[in-house]
Amino acid sequence: MSTHSHRRMSLPRLLSAAALAVAATATAVTPATGVEQDASDGVVKVSNTVDVRCAFLIYKRSGDWYFPATAAPKGTVWLQHGFSRANDHLEDLARRYAAAGFIVFAPTLPSSDTFGCTVSNLGNNTAFLNNVADLFGKADDPHDKLGRSFTDAAARAGRPGLQLPAKFVFSGHSAGGEAVGYVANQLRTRYPAAFQRLAGIVLLDPVNSFVGLNMANALNGLNLTNLPIHAISSPPYLANGQASGTKELTTDVHREFLGIRLSTGSHCDAEGASTDTLCTLPNGAPQAANIAVLQEFATTWATDDVNGTITTTHRPGGNRYESLRTAGTIQTLSGS
């Protein structure tokens, strides 16, 4: 697909967005401190804020941190929601990443803003996403923006002194997929030392923004590297811009294997049990089997990325992969 196409935003995509409906789990909640402990897997969620610069202002955005039970987390996942959604909508997946051994950082970024400081490019959000990149570009400084938020969350989670893991994985849903790709490419060009910490990208039914070439430019830049990039997508339809982000990925990144498409997938699959009717009404309710596959493959690939390994069962030719492909559950995404 040409990098100059797919610039219209559908009404269902605009509706595919907003509030919170987290699945009931066995949790102990301490509202005064914003700390939740999941009794089933030991995952601790801490809600605080993170400073993000917008023009001449500093926004204090909601940030959720998830801490795994393990004493030595394997890496950090930045999990980014899409247009008109919030971090709570990805709580189900965030907990799965944490249960797999990752620290998860899930911020809420604006979807509309006077200064263009938005997760989706509705006009020109590149200056704002450059400021988001600055968070990760300076992640090794405990006194900088991301470091301060993490240190506060770790202390409140009962993990004082815990260091942010050296390896990062960026994972973004819908327009959040474009955002994490753009930020990753900014690390490549502006923060090369931080880019070395980035182990991989897992895109979740990515969608191109209303205007601009953020995703195209990012993927063309990242194609020059060996950074692992994989997607878990749903079939083309209005809510995902006719799979605009997936088409961009398979056009711009020239690799034999780029992930999977869930044959009966919904744009809400990544949100799983924490989705709501504003997503499911225009997009259809996600099927439990598809949610399970998405979470299984996302956590497996992220683990491979930080460990520098390849789990062959979850790649073409592997037993698990081929059983799902033969059953018609998944299809293979490959680069052109």
* pLDDT tens-digit map of 239-287: 899 999 999 999 999 999 999 999 999 999 999 999 999 999 999 999 9
pLDDT of 232 reads: 98
User: Comparing C-alpha atoms, which of 198, 194, 201, 182 is closest to residue 129?
Assistant: 182
Residues 59-104 have pLDDT tens digits of 999 999 999 999 999 999 999 999 999 999 999 999 999 999 999 9
- Mean pLDDT of the chain, nearest integer: 90
Class of domain 11-333: alpha beta
Rounded distance between C-alpha atoms, residue 30 and residue 44, angstroms: 11
Give the H or E element holding residue 18: none
Cα separation, 171 vs 231, in Å, equals 9
Q: Identify which has the larger pLDDT, 163 or 123.
A: 163
- pLDDT reported for residue 18: 34
Q: Flag whether pLDDT at 142 surpasses 70.
A: yes
230, 202 in Cβ contact below 8 A?
yes
Q: What percent of the chain has pLDDT over 70?
A: 90
**Confidence at 7, pLDDT banded by 50, 70, 90:** very low
- Which of 12 and 66 is assigned the larger pLDDT? 66
Contacts of 293 (CB under 8 A, 6+ apart): 232, 260, 262, 324, 329, 330
Domain ranges of the chain: 11-333
The DSSP element (H or E) to which 41 belongs, if any, is none
Q: pLDDT tens across 16-43, in order? A: 333 333 333 333 444 446 899 887 889 9
Residue-level pLDDT at 9:
38
Mean pLDDT of the 39-54 span: 94
Locate 283 and state its tokens. Answer: 């997009």
